[in-house]
């Protein structure tokens, strides 16, 4: 694990350089892109080292692991993103401890997040997870359900709908990776044409975030390239 500040600084600098290069190649401003350091499987010490090196946004997948880590880090600089599949019995913990949820895929989850969001906290920032590609059993809303889900989220006062998220099928070819990211952008644009104000595309991980940036990603979720393999 990259727990030392020096290692974290070097890894973050390399990832940020890759983001900047991908953004410039796409004619974009690198400052438009938020780097979410995926900290699942890594210690609170690793998180602190990354924060010391300038990371501000951290992503977690598993509620049982995440909540103790959020409490242990206890740093107001951190913006915490929940990026894992979310079960209805875990919505209270997520609503109480996270700033963003990227994986809302059905109205029931949205309602429970809104009900459990503490009133002293600002509204929860939300992305809808779309299942793209023919992968039965994978988390995410069907394309046909997307307009109704967006309407349901926007009707809840403790949530703010920001955009879409996907975890596409694994591809080795950059052109195929871009295909799936372009699909998510197309669905975001279709919702925007219906009047939804959406400014976020959460897509791209360590192996493919350059292709995601080329297709308009605003938030990339990078773990291994920053923290190394999970322990």
CATH architecture of 5-227: Alpha-Beta Barrel (3.20)
Q: Are 73 and 93 in contact (CB under 8 A)?
A: no
- Provide the residue ranges of all domains of the chain, joining segments of one domain with +: 5-227
Tell me the C-alpha distance between 119 and 116, whole Å.
9
7-18 confidence digits (pLDDT tens): 888 999 999 999
The DSSP call for residue 168 is P
pTM: 0.95
Name the band, by pLDDT with cuts 50, 70 and 90, for residue 5. Answer: low
Tell me the C-alpha distance between 105 and 165, whole Å.
10
Dihedrals φ, ψ of 36, to 5°?
-100, 115
């Amino acid at each position: 694990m990259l727990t030392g500040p020096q290692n974290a600084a070097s890894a973050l600098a390399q990832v940020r350089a890759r983001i900047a290069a991908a953004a410039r190649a796409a004619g974009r401003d690198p400052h438009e892109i938020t780097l979410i350091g995926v900290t699942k499987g890594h210690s609170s010490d690793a998180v602190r080292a990354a924060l010391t090196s300038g990371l501000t946004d951290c992503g977690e997948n598993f509620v049982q692991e995440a909540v103790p880590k959020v409490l242990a880090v206890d740093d107001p600089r951190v913006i915490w993103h929940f990026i894992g599949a979310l079960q209805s019995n875990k919505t209270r913990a997520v609503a109480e401890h996270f700033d963003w949820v990227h994986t809302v895929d059905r109205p029931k989850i949205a309602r429970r997040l809104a009900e459990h969001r503490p009133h002293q906290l600002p509204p929860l920032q939300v992305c809808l997870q779309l299942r793209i590609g023919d992968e039965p059993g994978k988390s995410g809303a069907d394309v046909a359900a997307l307009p109704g889900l967006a309407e349901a989220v926007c009707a809840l006062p403790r949530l703010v709908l920001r955009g879409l998220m996907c975890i596409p099928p694994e591809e080795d070819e950059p052109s195929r990776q871009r295909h799936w990211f372009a699909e998510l952008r197309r669905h975001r644009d279709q919702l925007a044409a219906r009047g939804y104000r959406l400014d976020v595309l959460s897509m791209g991980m360590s192996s493919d975030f350059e292709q995601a940036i080329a297709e308009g990603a605003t938030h990339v979720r990078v773990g291994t390239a920053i923290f190394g393999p999970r322990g």
